[in-house]
């Protein structure tokens, strides 16, 4: 600290801790050291502001600066440049299955591999997550950008050795060029991103240049997003149901609820178009809650032995209000918990396994049944069957499609049905479309089937009519039941051998 004695100040000395005197020369040295530390600190802060801490590549801020300068040079020299957006394919799966430390290490080595693909003078940056971007300058034509994109796809496709794991991912690349696709950095990044999503939509692991039609699709998607946000409030959603037919009881013993959007101008919008969009913009949780409430209310009119199956999304588990949502839907509708069956996919268990397992146990404690949907298409099905007492496993339709001619598919179906029988778990085959498939599944002990051979998904009024709890139906059609089998004097609800809906667009067939 500074001395407060005038005599010391006159001699040009100061006093520091413990009363020690320090000479003026030493003080000047300390001041110089402090200035150097400040200078180094400022340089470090500047680097932190412009470089990604994980990969040591330029970050988004520096990338935009370099891109602006490159565009200015290209205009002066009348040259072309390209902006490439690069995403690592299946990176999220690595994070979910192997953990974030492995994911971070993968980003570091992937960044080095990408850096090895570009020329000196080009800029490569990590924009965030698994997204990288490149400015490629001095181009005479777009062939150079195509060659760079091809090098990137090839380089990233080779396995990575990361923290004792061999990781196989891939890369998707979108390309926009100046001046043909735009003359501002933001516009070029936006259009390269559109091209990137085109690659993802076509299966990933490749590259695509921006095309003007992509911008039209983005505008169409934006309009669909606005309509989707309005649809729930406007009551434009409705439920269709697909029967689950028991091969033991020889009758419909359940129906799966499937969401449909009846747009006032577009008509029925495919779930493949709006479900991923709802997940992306955060609408899937309120939509899922509506489906559960509405389906429980409609199922109360069905015969007592007919269960209701409802799909749950991973986002509903992340909301942490799922148990209360189920309790509320059951309470409001009066539906018995044992008649409700909730279907989940393995992706639910890949994300925060312990917490989601606790939620599943809480739901099952209510008396609700839990099914694993799309069994066999994920990563660790058998381990999940050991860790949670599922009531049902649904064999994915990809294994049913080629029955009875594909020996591999037949072996998988035989193994799954045998596993289910050993563990006391029901098995349902999805996507059954032919009598031959049905016969093969019956032979190998499958307990339940679902698919167009039985019935396509139909509106709530039509499924109620099939079950014998509503008169006739839709579009002016009428429901008729064929005569009962010999020895049976009447056809009870849910026991229909054949139900046909005539005079309308819906036709359902329940026959074995």
pLDDT digits (tens, 9 = 90+) for 237-259: 999 999 999 998 899 999 999 99
340-344 vs 369-375, strand pairing mode: parallel
Contact call for residues 445 and 453 (beta carbons, < 8 A): no
Residue 342, Cβ density class (10 Å: 0-12 exposed, 13-18 middle, ≥19 buried): buried
Closest residue by Cα to residue 445 from 466, 420, 412, 480: 420
* 116 backbone dihedrals φ, ψ, rounded to 5°: -70, -10
Q: State the residue for tokens 């085109």.
A: 198
Query: Which residues make Cβ contacts (< 8 Å) with residue 337, sequence separation at least 6?
Result: 330, 366, 367, 368
More confident of the two residues 157 and 48: 157
Domain ranges of the chain: 6-50, 60-210, 228-464, 465-512
Read off the pLDDT band of 354 (50, 70, 90). Answer: confident
Read off the pLDDT band of 213 (50, 70, 90). Answer: confident
**Cis ω before 179 (30° cut-off from 0):** yes
Separation of alpha carbons 298 and 309, rounded Å = 12
Beta bridge partners of 166: 161
Closest residue by Cα to residue 375 from 352, 406, 359, 398: 398
How many angstroms separate the first and last alpha carbons of the chain? Answer: 96
Indicate the range of 24-33, 106-115, 181-190, 443-452 predicted with least confidence: 24-33
Separation of alpha carbons 352 and 100, rounded Å = 12
Separation of alpha carbons 317 and 350, rounded Å = 12
- Read off the pLDDT of each residue in 134-159 and give the average, rounded to a whole number: 92
Separation of alpha carbons 388 and 178, rounded Å = 55
Read off the pLDDT band of 286 (50, 70, 90). Answer: very high
Q: State the residue for tokens 């994980």.
A: 54
Cα–chain-centroid distance for residue 265? 28
Indicate the range of 12-26, 201-215, 375-389 predicted with least confidence: 12-26
Q: What is the pLDDT of residue 469?
A: 73
Q: What is the DSSP string of 28-45?
A: HHHHHHHHHHHHHHHHHH
Q: What is the pLDDT of residue 294?
A: 96
Tokens of 194: 């559109």
The answer on pLDDT for 395 being more than 70 is yes
Read off the pLDDT band of 355 (50, 70, 90). Answer: confident
- Read off the pLDDT of each residue in 42-54 and give the average, rounded to a whole number: 77
More confident of the two residues 375 and 400: 400
Per-residue pLDDT tens over the stretch 293-324: 999 999 999 999 999 999 998 888 877 789 99
Closest residue by Cα to residue 67 from 137, 170, 140: 137
Contact call for residues 169 and 158 (beta carbons, < 8 A): no
Q: What is the pLDDT of residue 495?
A: 38
Sign of the torsion formed by the C-alpha atoms of 271, 274, 280 and 283? negative
Query: Which residues make Cβ contacts (< 8 Å) with residue 309, sequence separation at least 6?
Result: 244, 254, 255, 256, 257, 341, 342, 343, 371
Read off the pLDDT band of 158 (50, 70, 90). Answer: very high
The answer on pLDDT for 484 being more than 60 is no
Contact call for residues 58 and 106 (beta carbons, < 8 A): no
Q: What is the pLDDT of residue 447?
A: 92
What are the angstrom distances between the C-alpha of 237 and each of 256, 290, 302? 16, 9, 21
Q: Give pTM, 2 decimals.
A: 0.60
The CATH code of domain 228-464 reads 3.20.20.450
Closest residue by Cα to residue 371 from 302, 441, 450: 450
DSSP-based three-state secondary structure for 80: strand
Query: Each residue of 141-164: b (16+ CB within 10 Å) or e?
Result: eeebbeebbeebbeebeeebebee
Read off the pLDDT band of 5 (50, 70, 90). Answer: low
Helices within 158-300 (DSSP H only)? 185-201, 212-234, 271-280, 284-299
Provide the 8-state DSSP code for 316.
H
Tokens of 265: 């101008």
Provide the 8-state DSSP code for 489.
-
Separation of alpha carbons 24 and 37, rounded Å = 20
DSSP-based three-state secondary structure for 396: coil
Q: What is the pLDDT of residue 146?
A: 93
Q: What is the pLDDT of residue 170?
A: 93
Q: What is the pLDDT of residue 30?
A: 55
- Read off the pLDDT of each residue in 368-394 and give the average, rounded to a whole number: 78
Closest residue by Cα to residue 287 from 266, 310, 309, 270: 310
Instruction: Tell whether domain 60-210 is in CATH 3.30.70.270.
Output: yes
DSSP-based three-state secondary structure for 392: strand
- Read off the pLDDT of each residue in 428-454 and give the average, rounded to a whole number: 92
More confident of the two residues 220 and 268: 268
Q: State the residue for tokens 């949502």.
A: 325
Per-residue pLDDT tens over the stretch 64-80: 999 999 999 999 988 89
- Read off the pLDDT of each residue in 100-128 and give the average, rounded to a whole number: 93
426-429 vs 448-449, strand pairing mode: parallel
């Amino acid at each position: 600290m500074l001395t407060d004695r005038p005599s010391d100040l006159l001699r040009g000395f100061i006093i520091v801790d413990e009363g020690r005197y320090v000479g003026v020369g030493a003080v000047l040295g300390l001041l110089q050291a402090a200035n150097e530390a400040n200078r180094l600190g400022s340089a470090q802060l500047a680097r932190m502001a412009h470089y990604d801490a994980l990969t040591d590549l330029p970050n988004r801020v520096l990338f935009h600066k370099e891109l602006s300068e490159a565009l200015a040079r290209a205009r002066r020299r009348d040259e072309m440049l390209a902006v490439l957006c690069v995403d690592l394919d299946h990176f999220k799966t690595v994070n979910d299955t192997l953990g974030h430390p492995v994911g971070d290490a993968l980003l570091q080595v992937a960044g080095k591999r990408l850096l090895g693909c570009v020329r000196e003078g080009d800029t490569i940056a990590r924009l965030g997550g698994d997204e990288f971007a490149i400015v490629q300058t001095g181009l005479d034509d777009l062939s150079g950008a195509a060659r760079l994109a091809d090098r990137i796809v090839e380089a990233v496709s080779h396995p990575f050795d990361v923290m004792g794991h061999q990781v196989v991912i891939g890369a998707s690349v979108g390309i926009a060029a100046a001046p043909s696709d735009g003359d501002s950095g933001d516009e070029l990044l936006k259009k390269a991103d559109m091209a990137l999503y085109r690659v993802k939509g076509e299966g990933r692991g490749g590259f695509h240049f921006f095309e003007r039609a992509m911008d039209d699709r983005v505008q169409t998607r934006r309009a669909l997003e606005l309509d989707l946000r309005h649809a729930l409030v406007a009551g434009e959603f409705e439920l269709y149901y697909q029967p689950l037919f028991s091969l033991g009881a020889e009758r419909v013993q359940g129906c799966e609820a499937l969401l449909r959007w009846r747009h006032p101008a577009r008509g029925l919008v495919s779930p493949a178009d709006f479900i991923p969009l709802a997940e992306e913009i955060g609408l899937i949780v309120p939509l899922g809650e509506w489906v559960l409430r509405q389906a429980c209310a409609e199922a109360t009119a069905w015969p007592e032995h007919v269960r209701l199956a409802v799909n749950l999304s991973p986002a509903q588990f992340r909301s942490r209000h799922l148990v209360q949502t189920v309790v509320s839907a059951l309470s409001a509708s009066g539906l018995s918990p044992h008649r409700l069956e909730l279907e989940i996919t393995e992706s639910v268990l890949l994300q925060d396994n312990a917490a989601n397992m606790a939620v599943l146990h809480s739901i099952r404690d209510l008396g609700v049944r839990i099914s694993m949907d799309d069994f066999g298409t994920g990563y660790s099905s058998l381990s999940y069957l050991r860790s949670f007492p599922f009531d049902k496993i649904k064999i994915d339709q990809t294994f049913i499609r080629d029955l009875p001619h594909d020996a591999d598919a037949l072996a998988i179906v035989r193994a799954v049905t045998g596993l289910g029988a050993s563990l006391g778990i029901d098995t349902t085959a999805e996507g059954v479309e032919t009598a031959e498939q049905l016969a093969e599944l019956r032979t190998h002990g499958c307990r339940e089937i679902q698919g167009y051979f039985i019935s396509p998904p139909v509106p709530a009024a039509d499924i109620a009519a099939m079950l014998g709890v509503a008169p006739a139906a839709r579009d002016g059609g009428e429901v008729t039941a064929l005569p009962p089998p010999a020895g049976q004097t009447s056809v009870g609800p849910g026991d229909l051998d054949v139900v046909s809906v005539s005079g309308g667009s819906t036709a359902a067939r329940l026959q074995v």
